Structure 1
Amino acid sequence: MNGDVDSVWERITAWLRLHTPVTAATLRPPASADDVRAVQNAVGRPLPDDLLAWWRLMDGVDDDADYRTAFTVPGVYMPLAVARVREEWAGLSAYPDQDCCRPDGHHQRAAGDPVLGFCTALLPVCRAVDGAVLAVDLRPGTHHGRVMDWMAQAGAHRTTWAGISAMLTDTAGRLEQYITAPGTRPQPGQVTIRDDGVLTWE
């Protein structure tokens, strides 16, 4: 799994350096072990290997300073710095979903099941400018590790990505299918490069 993340992340960063160096420059160096450990201690649950492997390669972007130019995954979600992951999780977990989260730390719904509120076993790893997040589902079940999308108004639902590795593989594939032919209109979910050289998604 780690090798998959390493190789697919190299595909992504190589594409960014070639096509959108402005966006490539927003990626931060690998996350510190202390920051990763702080997230693990706060959440109190083991983190998926593919997420840990990704954090060993990069520490997200500065989602406050660089939100106009930052690297994003499909859906225009910025990967959060690990320290921001802990902050985001702590803020959202202050109001746990009453139909899922129990006071003893257990959950009434399995991984991948939708929730209306915020489940404390969801770990936000990417954020959109509108406040929506992509979160890794740490609840037990066959969908453990799946990427969920969550919005305050809509709750959490499964994405098509079974985990971080799948999300990155999909991202790399979409980048590599970038169409530069004049007059070609990008379809929803396809990559575009703005006039200022920044990566975005249709």
Structure 2
Amino acid sequence: MNCSVDATWRRITAWLCTHSPVTAATLQRPARAEDVRAVQHVVGQPLPDDLLAWWGLMNGVDDEFGYRTAFTVPGVYMPLGVTRVQEEWASLSARPDEDCCRPGGLHLRSAGEATIGFCTALIPVCRAVDGAVLAVDLRPGAEQGRVMDWMAEAGSCRTAWTCVGAMLADTAQRLEHHYAAPETPARPGDPTIRENGSLTWA
């Protein structure tokens, strides 16, 4: 999985450097190993290899001050730096979903199942300006590692991405295929370039 993430991330960064240097410049250096270990310690369980590989390549973007030009994945979600992941998880986990979370790190629902509240086994990895997050589902089950979409008003639901690696592969494919034919009108989910040169998604 690591090699796949490495190759996919090279495709994404190469595209950004060519088509949106201003967005490429918002990517932060690889996460520090001690910060990653701190997240794992707080969460209390191993993190997926593809997520660890991604953090080994970049440490998110500044989602508070650099959001106007920051790199985003489809849906306009900004990757969180590892320290921000820990902060976001602690904040959202303060009131765990009573219909799923149980003492001792147990959960009544399996990976990929929807929740109303925030499940403590969801690790936020990307955030939108409106507060919605993309989170990796660490609950046991066949879909462990799936990327979930969570909003305070709607709870969590499955995305089409089975894992972080799939999310990055989809991002790379959308970037490359749409701009292989730049005369094609943008459809929902297609990449577009703003007037300031930054990447966004239709």
TM-score category of the 2 structures, normalised to the smaller one: over 0.9
Q: Show the counterpart of 2:32.
A: 32
CA–CA distance in structure 1, aligned partners of residues 57 and 44 of structure 2: 23
Question: Deviation of residue 67 (structure 1)?
Answer: 0.5
Q: Show the counterpart of 1:23.
A: 23
Q: Show the counterpart of 2:50.
A: 50
CA–CA distance in structure 1, aligned partners of residues 5 and 148 of structure 2: 19
TM-score (norm 2): 0.98
Question: Deviation of residue 40 (structure 1)?
Answer: 0.1
CA–CA distance in structure 2, aligned partners of residues 185 and 19 of structure 1: 17
User: Unmatched 5+ residue regions in structure 2?
Assistant: none
Q: Show the counterpart of 2:145.
A: 145
Q: Does 1:160 align with 2:189?
A: no
Residue type matched to 2:71 in 1? F
TM-score (norm 1): 0.98
**Number of positions where the alignment pairs a residue of Structure 1 with one of Structure 2:** 201
Note if contact 1:178-1:192 (Cα within 8 Å) is conserved in structure 2. Answer: no
CA–CA distance in structure 1, aligned partners of residues 175 and 166 of structure 2: 14
CA offsets 1:56-104 (integer angstroms, 9 cap, x no match): 0000001011000000000000000000000000000001000000022
Question: Deviation of residue 178 (structure 1)?
Answer: 2.5
Q: Show the counterpart of 2:74.
A: 74
CA offsets 1:97-149 (integer angstroms, 9 cap, x no match): 00000022100000000000000000000000000000000000000000000
SS at match of 1:47: coil
SS at match of 2:18: helix
Q: Show the counterpart of 1:108.
A: 108
Question: Deviation of residue 3 (structure 1)?
Answer: 0.2
CA–CA distance in structure 1, aligned partners of residues 21 and 121 of structure 2: 35
Indicate the RMSD between aligned Cα atoms, in angstroms.
0.8
Q: Show the counterpart of 2:197.
A: 197
CA–CA distance in structure 2, aligned partners of residues 53 and 104 of structure 1: 28
Question: Deviation of residue 34 (structure 1)?
Answer: 0.7
Residue type matched to 1:109 in 2? R
Q: Show the counterpart of 2:119.
A: 119
1:169-184 to 2 correspondences below 5 Å = 169-179=169-179, 181-182=182-183, 184=184
CA–CA distance in structure 2, aligned partners of residues 181 and 37 of structure 1: 42
Note if contact 1:77-1:126 (Cα within 8 Å) is conserved in structure 2. Answer: yes
After TM superposition, which residue ranges in structure 1, 4 or more long, deviate above 3 angstroms? 179-182
Residue type matched to 1:158 in 2? R
